[in-house]
Amino acid sequence: MYLGIDCGTQSTKAVVADRETLEALGEGSAAHTLHSGDNGRREQNPDEWITAFEVAFSKAIANADIDARAIRAIGVSGQQHSLVAVDQHNNPVYPAKLWCDTETAPENDDIVADLGGPNGCLEKLGVVPQPGFTISKIAWLRSYYPEAYRRTDSLLLPHDYLNLYLTGTRTTEAGDASGTGYFDTRQRVWRPDILARVAPELDPAQVLPTLVMPGAPAGLVRTNIAKRLGLRPDVTVSAGGGDNMMSAIGTGNIEPGVVTVSLGSSGTVFAHSDAPTIADDGLVANFCASHGGWLPLICTMNVTAASSLVADTLRMTTADFGRAIKRAPIGSGGVTALPFFNGERVPPLPNASGSYSGLTPDNFTTANLCRATVESATYGLRYGLDLLRSLGIRPDELRLVGGGARSATWRQIVADVTNVPVVGPVINEAAALGAAIQACWCHEKECGEPRALSTLCKTAVELDPKLACIPIASNVTQYREYYARYQNALRQQYPQAVLTATGGY
């Protein structure tokens, strides 16, 4: 069997997959605590991820009804960008600052300017660091917590930290490293000179983890951890990667022609490319893929993070919220949301906040507030898809994953807003499944009997016909009008937001 782990923002998920068929035999999860501040601070305790890993692992093993000694390899997926600075004993020197942390936006502005603006960043890195990238967090730590900064012995990402817990080695891979801001995404190498600009006291040779190639192992599970978890002593840990990179594998998005949309805490839209994909404005991130190649991607900061906040505030269950968005009319009765509760990355508005407009006594209802949140979050993803379209990426279908994808109403909204058919995989936990597939790929290579990754994906990724949604022509027509209304509201409140994508359907 193979184990896939995904350390996300809200929880850690685990999937146990069969060795031959890669069928998911058991799943488990355990929640995390998010610590927030009004200044954009978003942090977590990395040790909580380890506890959640062990709980999710135990649940998945129990649900699969197998002995843990059946596990041959483990793959780890993790939320991108988050800084985990550890000391010489591998203990965190400060809580992890997450991908959705915008407290370091001023530091990020300074770094981009120092690198020669967006054009200079694209020339040096192939990406433009955004608020939330790792590099600005290091500069922030150096300024505000110098004692913790001085104790830093390695700069890790969440999946790196879990791999360290499992193997005792400090490794990473190109996909996750792409979001640090000190990695050349075209050449797939560290840029120690860029790191030295923000952390001159740190030795890059010491603090940067070793890069592991796609399909290669990060190491073996340590003896004491194997005993603790009931594993065999020879369990391989694959390279792992960022959650989007693992979701690409877990949705079969490893060849041109497929586009994945994730309705998670954040929203992402990404596709495979055989060559670097550099957008002039830098809004499409030229990330590396964890299977080889590249993964042009856009990220919005508020999807289920926004819908969950609204549901919790209105004291609604997930089922209540789903019934509300189904009950409300298309266009939410004229209500438009800018659900930027965590700021926004695309368009780049790190200091933005959430707002609702168009409210009247007649449309001010719970159902319209809920649907406006969902529709507007989807408009943000539509804009991201338009950016990919402008680079020549023309999807025949969207493979939809994440918590929001469980809603039939939301799936139909995505199809209608984008005017692209939507399909859904049987296994919705795409990042955890992708990690399990990568673990299988790595283990079979070690055993000398490798199947191609494309073969493994075709075996593991099954699309559920019950989740398919075809755009409804009348809805598509209405949503063109409501999407324009959303763009106008955005321009009025944030004139600095530059909306360059023109779409194309």
User: d(Cα 134, Cα 161) in Å, to the nearest integer?
Assistant: 14
The hierarchical CATH code for the domain 2-245+431-460 is: 3.30.420.40
Q: Specify the DSSP class assigned to residue 232.
A: -
The residue count of the chain comes to 505
In this structure, how many other beta carbons lie within 10 angstroms of the beta carbon of residue 266?
27
Q: Name every residue whose Cβ is closer than 8 Å to that of residue 306 and which is 6 or more positions away in sequence.
A: 337, 339, 341, 354, 373, 377
pLDDT classification of 379: cutoffs 50, 70, 90: very high
User: d(Cα 255, Cα 246) in Å, to the nearest integer?
Assistant: 14
pLDDT at residue number 60: 97
Q: Specify the DSSP class assigned to residue 373.
A: H
Q: Specify the DSSP class assigned to residue 128.
A: -
Interval 334-361 mean pLDDT: 94
Interval 333-346 mean pLDDT: 94
pLDDT at residue number 504: 46
Pair 132, 171: CB distance under 8 Å: no
Q: Name every residue whose Cβ is closer than 8 Å to that of residue 357 and which is 6 or more positions away in sequence.
A: 335, 336, 338, 489, 493
Q: Specify the DSSP class assigned to residue 281.
A: T
Q: Which residue, 282, 212, 239, is CA-closest to 78?
A: 239
pLDDT classification of 496: cutoffs 50, 70, 90: confident
Going from the C-alpha of 209 to that of each of 84, 85, 163, the distances in angstroms are 12, 11, 11
pLDDT at residue number 500: 59
Q: Tens of pLDDT along 21-79?
A: 999 999 999 999 999 988 899 999 999 999 999 999 999 999 999 999 999 999 999 99
Pair 395, 255: CB distance under 8 Å: no
Coil, helix or strand for 417?
A: helix
Amino acid code (one letter) for 80? Q
Q: Name every residue whose Cβ is closer than 8 Å to that of residue 132 and which is 6 or more positions away in sequence.
A: 81, 98, 99, 100, 101, 102, 104, 301, 345, 350
Spans of all domains in the chain: 2-245+431-460
Q: What is the DSSP string of 471-497?
A: PPHHHHHHHHHHHHHHHHHHHHH-TT-
109 is catalytic: no
User: d(Cα 278, Cα 487) in Å, to the nearest integer?
Assistant: 25
Mean per-residue pLDDT over the chain, rounded: 94
pLDDT classification of 394: cutoffs 50, 70, 90: confident
User: d(Cα 501, Cα 384) in Å, to the nearest integer?
Assistant: 8
**Helix segments in 276-349, DSSP class H:** 304-313, 318-327
pLDDT at residue number 498: 63
Query: Catalytic residue among 18, 176, 243, 386, which?
Result: 243
Q: Tens of pLDDT along 244-283?
A: 999 999 999 998 888 999 998 889 999 999 999 988 888 8
Strands (E), 196-320: 210-211, 217-220, 236-238, 241-242, 259-263, 267-271, 285-288, 294-300
pLDDT at residue number 199: 98
Interval 452-473 mean pLDDT: 95
User: d(Cα 328, Cα 325) in Å, to the nearest integer?
Assistant: 5
Tell whether the model's pLDDT for residue 505 goes beyond 50: no
pLDDT at residue number 446: 93
Tell whether the model's pLDDT for residue 314 goes beyond 50: yes
